[in-house]
Amino acid sequence: MSATTAAVLEIAALVAALAVSTPLLGRYLAHVYTSQRHLKVERAAYRLMRVDPDADQHWRSYAMSVLGFSMVGLLILYAVARLQPHLPQSLGFPGFDPAGAWNTAVSFVANTNWQWYSGESAAGYLLQASGLAVQNFVSAAVGMAVAAAFARGLARSRSGGRLGNFWSDLVRGTVRVLLPIAVIGALVLLAGGAIENWHAFHSVTTLTGGHQTITGGPVASQESIKLLGTNGGGFYNANSAHPFENPNAFTNLVQIFLILVIPFAMAWAFGLIVKDKRQGGAILATMAVLATAAVGFLTWAEMSTNGTATRLAGAAMEGKEARFGEAGSALFGAATTLTSTGAVNSMHESFTAPGGGIAMFDMMLGEIAPGGVGSGLYGMLMLAIVTVFLCGLMVGRTPEYLGKKIGQREIVLVALYIVTTPALVLTGAAVAVTASAGLAGLSVGGPHGLSEALYAVTSAANNNGSAFAGITSGTPFWNTLLGLLMLFGRFLPIVFVLALAGRFAAARHQPAGAGTLPTHRPLFVTLLTGVALVVVGLTYVPALALGPIAESLS
């Protein structure tokens, strides 16, 4: 079978699986976030946390719950990383240094999973399984909760800014959605050959007589939630390129499916929560258009054998696993950067210059196609509001979305949301390439060195977590800078989203009139796609021109 045929079949199988899962899971998600009934296990969790799951929280209370829960999680994870040698199942590894522990704690709480360390040689089982994996579940559930609250804000009318209950959303997302799918995903990965054991180290003699230490561990169980929660932090440093995490083309396809399944389904659920399936369809269609373009361009870039060395080798296989090939690597690379996952099955630094640029551009889009679990949906909805506002200005229509007027205060909140991430990325990049401590972490100079720094700060501020592997980020400077970008890149947008949701929830629902722009038709999908690309293009093209574009042309 030719590489092109394999690529087409792989993409076709993925699209078919997503076409089946999206409406099914979307319906289930809508039910989860609108049901009045609590399960027994959920009631036990509420009693343990001493919260009232039926309290309808004002947006401020909801936001403070998100921040409080995340801060406590951060401090616990920091303590576990620092105290690792004194805790059980540390495998003899020392504790993380303060900067490294803080970076790791922020990273997992912010659903980023940027890893400056090698998991198999720095993190013991307790830290991996009960520290990092717990945050893989709950940080994803936080994102889904915020998206659900935003959808409810749009669906409600004159509710006094009340959005539902964060604790209920958090527990339901974890118990009813992430846990069961993660268990099924882990079993499928196990069946496909991923490992799951508690065997720490095996010393083996290689065929050439050398000695090698092989680290085992509970890999499949963490692999599943790593992808499902769009987290991305691997048990091993090589992440999904490691044969114990991702043994073959079948598990590779399963992993890509796990990355995309919830984000696409969230868009379907949105349509059901706002009681207009067509609105969810329009958001879903926009996500699909952008994702298709990104997958197509990245696959083309990696399969077109640009460059002398690549032509001589016959394929751009440097940094890629032979068992996945160019197409399997490009598809995974697009899926992981279009969402906030950041897992890798190939080295993104080894992608062709245009391929690496597309991966970076995917993240710069704000990870909206389909984006992280929850964050992708609310990111796309923010752009939808920008679109109706711009269209309203251009043609004199009333700027409103789903019956909610977009006034001055609403658009200010949206503008703050849109500006936050680019401001963090570009400021972070400027600091990184002007400080000597920042430059010291880059493996090369010139456009590729700039790309390394730009990719790192883009990945951190967008809560992706993947990296151009040449960068050395395990220093106090990089750990602190990227930690700050991850923290504010996650929680500033969440605050703006919840504030806007509260404002919508308090507003009266206006029936659509003659001046209302229909937001469910193909025209709106086209406009929204254009706005997403233009907003990103205008913001980041100068930086991209100095990095990957300059490298492509050199």
**What is the smallest separation between the CB atom of 278 and another protein, expressed in angstroms?**
24
Site stretch for another protein (CB under 8 A), options 74-82, 114-122, 183-191, 209-217: 74-82
Give the whole-angstrom CA distance, residue 148 versus residue 65: 15
Of 161 and 263, the one with the shorter C-beta distance to another protein is 161
> Which of 201-209, 213-221, 408-416, 462-470 is the region at the interface with another protein (rule: CB under 8 A)?
408-416
Q: Which is nearer to another protein, 7 or 106 (CB)?
A: 106
459 to each of 159, 192, 324, 349, how far by Cα in Å?
37, 30, 24, 13
Q: Does residue number 407 form part of the binding site for another protein (CB under 8 A)? A: yes
Please say whether the beta carbons of 79 and 96 come within 8 A. Answer: no
d(CA 3, CA 302): 12
Decide: 348 and 332 in contact? Cβ < 8 Å.
no
> DSSP string spanning 415-437?
HHHHHHHHHHHHHHHHHHHHSHH
508 binds another protein (CB under 8 A): yes
Site pattern 454..473 for another protein (x: CB under 8 A): --------------------
Can residue 512 be called a binding residue for another protein (CB under 8 A)? no
Phi, psi torsion values for 332, nearest 5 degrees: -65, -45
Q: Which of 256, 267, 195 is nearest to 230 (CA)?
A: 256
Nearer to another protein, 110 or 442 (CB): 110
Residue 152 makes contact with another protein by CB under 8 A: no
Provide the minimum distance between the beta carbon of 520 and another protein in the complex, in angstroms, as a whole number. Answer: 23
**Minimal distance, residue 60 CB to another protein, in Å:** 5
Q: How many CA atoms lie within 13 A of 114 on its CB side?
A: 38
Beta-carbon count within 10 A of 32 CB:
17
Among 223-231, 367-375, 502-510, 536-544, the segment contacting another protein (CB under 8 A): 502-510
- The span of 94-102, 175-183, 206-214, 433-441 binding another protein (CB under 8 A) equals 94-102
> By CB under 8 A, what part of segment 100-139 binds another protein?
101-102
Contact between residue 355 and residue 301 where contact means Cβ atoms under 8 Å apart: yes
Q: Least distance (Å) from another protein to the CB of residue 68?
A: 8
**Binding of residue 503 to another protein (CB under 8 A):** yes
Where does this chain touch another protein (CB under 8 A) — which range of 116-124, 341-349, 365-373, 495-503? Answer: 495-503
Closer of 63 and 528 to another protein (Cβ): 63
By beta-carbon proximity to another protein, the closer residue of 71 and 444 is: 71
- Collapsing DSSP states into helix, strand and coil, what is residue 405? strand
Pinpoint the alpha helices (H) of 368-407: 375-395
Work out which of 175, 335, 499, 549 binds another protein, going by CB under 8 A: 499
| Cβ neighbours of 371 (radius 10 Å) | 29
Residue 508 C-beta: closest distance to another protein, Å? 5
Query: For 397-460, where are the E strands, in sequence order?
Result: 400-401, 404-405
Using an 8 Å Cβ cutoff, are 342 and 459 in contact? yes
Residue with smaller CB distance to another protein, 356 or 502: 502
CB nearer to another protein: pick between 63 and 453: 63
Choice from 131, 161, 325, 489 touching another protein (CB under 8 A): 161
Is there binding between residue 533 and another protein (CB under 8 A)? no
Judged by CB, which is closer to another protein: 180, or 407? 407
Should residue 492 be labelled a site residue for another protein when binding is judged by CB under 8 A? yes
Q: What's the CA gap between 30 and 443, in Å, rounded?
A: 47
- Min dist CB 399 to another protein, Å, is 14
User: How far is residue 36's CA from residue 446's CA, in Å, rounded to a whole number?
Assistant: 57
Stretch that binds another protein, among 16-24, 133-141, 387-395, 501-509 (CB under 8 A): 501-509
Q: Is 388 in the site for another protein (CB under 8 A)?
A: no
Question: In this chain, which of 144, 301, 481, 507 binds another protein, going by CB under 8 A?
Answer: 507
> How far is 179 from 1, CA to CA, in rounded Å?
37
Q: Read off the tokens for 66.
A: 């998100």
Q: List the structure tokens of 284.
A: 């879903």
Helix (H) or strand (E) holding 212, with range, is strand 211-215
Three-class secondary structure assignment of 218-233:
CHHHHHHHHHHCCCCC
Element (DSSP H or E) covering residue 452: helix 446-461
Coil, strand or helix: which one is 203? strand
Q: d(Cα 194, Cα 26) in Å, to the nearest integer? A: 28
Q: Which of 168, 173, 220, 208 is nearest to 53 (CA)?
A: 168
Burial 454-468 (b: 16+ CB within 10 A, else e): bbbbbbbbbbbbbbb
Pick the binder of another protein from 8, 44, 71, 541 (CB under 8 A). 71
Residues 29-68 that bind another protein (CB under 8 A): 59-60, 63-64, 67
Using rule CB under 8 A, residue 211 touches another protein: no
- Residues of this chain, 471-490, that bind another protein according to CB under 8 A: 476, 480, 484, 487-488
The residues of the shown chain that bind another protein, judged by CB under 8 A, are 59-60, 63-64, 67, 70-71, 74-75, 78, 82, 98-99, 101-102, 158, 161, 405, 407, 409-410, 413, 476, 480, 484, 487-488, 491-492, 495-496, 499, 502-503, 506-508
